[in-house]
Structure formats: structure tokens, C-alpha cells
């Protein structure tokens, strides 16, 4: 039982683990509050529990499975953690403060099997899915770094969340039910695992879903994202439309602007056609430098402005990703982690 982590457990599950005590219901509520509301990582910090109970818990359980092996801060107040649970697999998560809120970016896998050509995580290969305790544990580790409440969580770190649906959905429910976050402040980003988009739609959780589109043309998108060979642009955008209809939520199309590859104005015109007629917006992301064999480059400001203007003229709701944490490689596409193991998979998994 010593290896049992309480992070990732609901109040009811903690109560079941305390089945030797007559006051299990009361103590489970206290423990869940200490873990999820106050981000306490040690039983010794839980002052509302009797000293004897704290000693018993120390012998039987862990609060969190995660250890921090690296902590870096950027010049713009972004903080990045490299975490692991002792198995040699490390992954990254990021704290992003804004004047009006605090957000965090968390990982769903160790590495990523999708092989996107512009992403440091995807270029490095894949080890395994993360467990619920490891996903929720990232939020709690980041929360311990700031006195301000982290109110927004994006699953845009390492990995493809919809290849780990069971753990991701369980984590979303804990962040809502136990931590107390609004589902509307929880965002899941996907490269477009179409069956899992429909699976998520069936659950009707009012979370925000974002698709990494990056080109409206199949040939360009497939060059960048091997997943497009399985589910093309039309199928993937169609699934996003159906998700929006099923949940009543506006969806996001993330769009990476790569000089001479995805920033041509004809692609902006095509995006306007694809996204017409349902609630959505396009989030533009000028390419953050990643060492790729393709030699991708960031477009200049004039090209970005022209692309955005073309979308706006066509009536598309457009935003541009604010670049944060670039100097510590915490910006979009830059999370790579530092891995001790070398047996990582370099090929795509079988996609159903």
C-alpha cells in the first residue's frame, strides 16, 4: 500500500482506502481538501488530521507520486517543471501567469507518438501514457509554486490527450469535482483523433476542444502531421463541427504559421470556407524555433498580419497566441523533456 498515491483519487476512493477507520468519511473529506484545495504534498502539512492518523498515512500511502528534477523560470514569469515518478520517464508542465488569471499547461503522455514535424515532443518519440495521478499531480505541483489560484488548465503539453482518453477524462473530472475548476476553463488539444473526438462528444462534458489544424490542405498537413494520412482535413473538421453541435461549445482551430509552408493567403481563404457556419475561432501561432530537419522558419510580422487580416475580412474570429516562456523552451511545440531511457518508439501507433 505504500506505493498507493492519493492524488488521482476522488473523495469516495480515499474514503474506501480508509476503511479501517470509523471516521473514514470525515477524514477523506479533510484529506481531499488538503490535497486538492491547498495543494499539500505531505501528510505532515495536514494540520487538521490527528497526529496518529498522519503517522499511519505516512506508512501506508503517498500523497503524490511526482518528484521535481528540474525547475526553471523565464524572464516573463513563466515557470517550467520537469517531473517524474521515479521510473526514469520525465515530462514537462508549465505555469503561465497573466494579469487576470493563472493558467497551466500539462502533459498527458511521456513523449508523443504522433511525429509532428514541427514539434520537439513529437520528434523525440514516445514512452507511455500518463496515469491520472501523474496528470493531476502536475497541476498540484504547479499550484504549489504560486499563491494565486490556477484557474485554467490546457492539455497542450507533451503527448496526444485523445490517445489517453480514459486517464484524461478521469483527470478532467477530478479537476472539476475535487479541485473545483470550471469545465469551461479546461481545454483539451488534439491533432485530430477522430473516433476519440466523437467519444468525447458523447460524454457531453462542457470542456473546450482545440484542434491542431495547421493547414487546410491535405498534402501540406500530411507533410507536417502524419495523422492526416488516417483522418484527412474534411473528416477531422467535420468531427469538430459535430463536437460543437453535441456540446454547445465553441471550438478552436490552432494554426501554426510556418514561413512559406502554412502562411500563404490562399490557405487563409480555404480556412474561412472550412470554418464557416458553426461557432469557432482560429488561434494563430507563429512558429517557435525547434531544430527540425525541414529547416522551418518563423514568418515575419508583415506576413502574420496579412494572414490574420485575410481571415478577418472573411468574417473569421481570430486570435494570436501570446508567446510566453520562449527563453526556457516552454512555448508551443518546444516541450521536449529529458529522458533517461532510450527505448522510445519512433513510429506511429496503430490508429483505430
Q: pLDDT: is 64 or 341 the higher one? A: 64
For residue 247, is pLDDT > 80? yes
DSSP code of residue 35 = I
Tell me which of 14-28, 55-69, 222-236, 316-330 is least confident. Answer: 316-330
Q: What are phi and psi of 33, to 5 degrees?
A: -65, -45
Per the annotation, the verdict on 92 as an active-site residue is: yes
Active site residue 332: yes
Indicate if the pLDDT at residue 18 is higher than 50. yes
Give the pLDDT score at 321.
82
Q: In terms of Cα–Cα distance, which of 155, 268, 257, 170 is closest to 210?
A: 155
The least confident of 89-98, 277-286, 298-307, 322-331 is: 322-331
Per-residue pLDDT at 86 exceeds 90: no
What is the structure's pLDDT at 335? 56
Strand (E) or helix (H) holding 137:
helix 132-143
Average pLDDT across the chain, whole number: 91
What is the mean pLDDT of the segment spanning 245-257?
A: 97
What pLDDT, on the 0 to 100 scale, is given for residue 11?
A: 97
The strand pair at 109-111 and 318-320 is best described as unpaired
Spot the catalytic one: 9, 15, 92, 119: 92
Between 352 and 216, whose confidence is greater? 216
Name all domains of the chain by residue range, CATH numbers in brackets.
4-62 (1.10.150.530), 67-328 (3.20.20.70)
pLDDT digits (tens, 9 = 90+) for 121-155: 777 789 999 999 999 999 999 999 999 999 999 99
Q: What mean pLDDT do residues 193-209 have?
A: 97
**Strand 90-97 to strand 102-105: parallel, antiparallel, or no bridges (unpaired)?**
antiparallel
Q: pLDDT at position 153, please?
A: 98
3-class secondary-structure state, position 81: strand
Burial environment of residue 56 by CB neighbours within 10 A (0 to 12, 13 to 18, 19 or more) = middle
157 pLDDT tier (thresholds 50, 70, 90): very high
Q: And the C-alpha cell for 327? A: 527563453
Is residue 343's pLDDT more than 90? no
According to the model, what pLDDT value does residue 348 have?
Answer: 45
**Measured between alpha carbons, how far is 296 from 290 in angstroms, rounded to an integer?**
8
Cα of 180 vs its chain's centroid, Å: 18
Beta strands across the sheet bearing 152-155: 67-73, 79-84, 90-97, 102-105, 152-155, 186-190, 208-212, 251-257, 280-286, 318-320
**Run of H or E residues at 312:** helix 301-313
Mean pLDDT of 23-47: 95
Mean pLDDT of the 75-103 span: 92
pLDDT of residue 337: 60
Torsions phi, psi for 191 (to 5 deg) = -80, -10
Does the structure show a pLDDT above 90 at 104? yes
Q: For the chain, how many residues are written?
A: 352
Tell me which DSSP letter residue 143 carries: H
Please state which of the ranges 44-58, 141-155, 289-303 shows the lowest mean pLDDT: 289-303
d(CA 304, CA 320): 9
Compute the average pLDDT of residues 236-265: 97
d(CA 173, CA 175): 5
pLDDT for the residue 166: 97
The backbone torsions φ and ψ at residue 330, rounded to the nearest 5 degrees and listed phi first, read -115, 5
- Residue whose C-alpha cell reads 490556477 in the numeric block: 150
Ranking 143-147, 159-163, 295-299 by mean pLDDT, the lowest is: 295-299
Beta 90-97 vs 79-84: how paired, if at all? antiparallel
Amino acid at each position: 500500500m505504500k506505493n498507493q498515491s492519493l492524488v488521482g483519487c476522488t473523495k469516495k476512493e480515499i474514503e474506501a482506502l480508509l476503511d479501517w477507520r470509523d471516521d473514514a468519511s470525515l477524514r477523506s473529506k479533510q484529506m481531499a481538501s488538503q490535497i486538492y484545495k491547498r495543494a499539500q504534498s505531505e501528510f505532515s502539512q495536514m494540520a487538521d488530521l490527528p497526529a496518529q492518523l498522519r503517522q499511519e498515512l505516512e506508512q501506508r500511502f503517498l500523497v503524490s507520486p511526482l518528484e521535481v528534477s528540474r525547475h526553471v523560470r523565464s524572464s516573463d514569469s513563466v515557470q517550467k517543471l520537469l517531473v517524474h515518478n521515479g521510473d526514469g520517464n520525465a515530462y514537462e508542465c508549465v505555469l503561465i501567469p497573466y494579469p487576470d488569471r493563472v493558467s497551466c499547461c500539462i502533459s498527458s503522455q511521456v513523449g508523443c507518438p504522433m511525429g509532428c514535424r514541427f514539434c520537439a515532443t513529437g520528434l523525440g518519440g514516445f514512452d507511455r501514457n500518463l496515469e491520472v495521478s501523474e496528470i493531476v499531480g502536475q497541476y498540484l505541483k504547479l499550484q504549489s509554486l504560486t499563491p494565486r489560484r490556477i484557474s485554467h488548465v490546457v492539455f497542450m503539453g507533451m503527448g496526444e490527450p485523445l490517445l489517453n482518453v480514459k486517464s484524461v477524462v478521469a483527470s478532467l473530472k477530478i479537476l472539476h469535482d475535487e479541485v473545483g475548476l470550471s469545465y469551461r476553463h479546461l481545454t483539451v488539444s488534439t491533432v485530430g483523433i477522430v473516433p476519440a473526438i466523437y467519444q468525447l462528444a458523447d460524454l457531453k462534458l462542457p470542456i473546450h476542444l482545440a484542434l491542431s489544424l495547421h493547414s487546410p490542405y491535405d498534402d501540406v498537413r500530411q507533410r507536417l502531421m502524419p495523422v492526416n494520412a488516417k483522418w484527412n482535413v474534411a473528416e477531422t473538421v467535420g468531427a469538430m463541427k459535430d463536437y460543437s453541435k453535441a456540446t454547445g461549445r465553441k471550438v478552436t482551430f490552432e494554426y501554426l504559421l510556418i514561413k512559406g509552408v502554412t502562411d500563404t493567403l490562399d490557405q487563409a481563404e480555404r480556412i474561412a470556407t472550412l470554418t464557416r457556419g458553426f461557432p469557432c475561432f482560429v488561434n494563430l501561432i507563429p512558429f517557435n524555433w525547434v531544430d527540425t530537419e525541414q529547416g522551418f522558419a518563423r514568418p515575419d510580422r508583415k506576413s502574420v498580419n496579412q494572414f490574420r487580416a485575410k481571415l478577418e475580412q472573411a468574417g473569421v474570429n481570430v486570435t494570436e497566441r501570446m508567446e510566453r516562456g520562449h527563453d526556457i523552451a516552454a512555448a508551443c511545440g518546444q516541450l521536449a523533456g529529458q529522458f533517461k531511457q532510450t527505448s522510445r518508439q519512433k513510429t506511429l501507433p496503430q490508429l483505430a
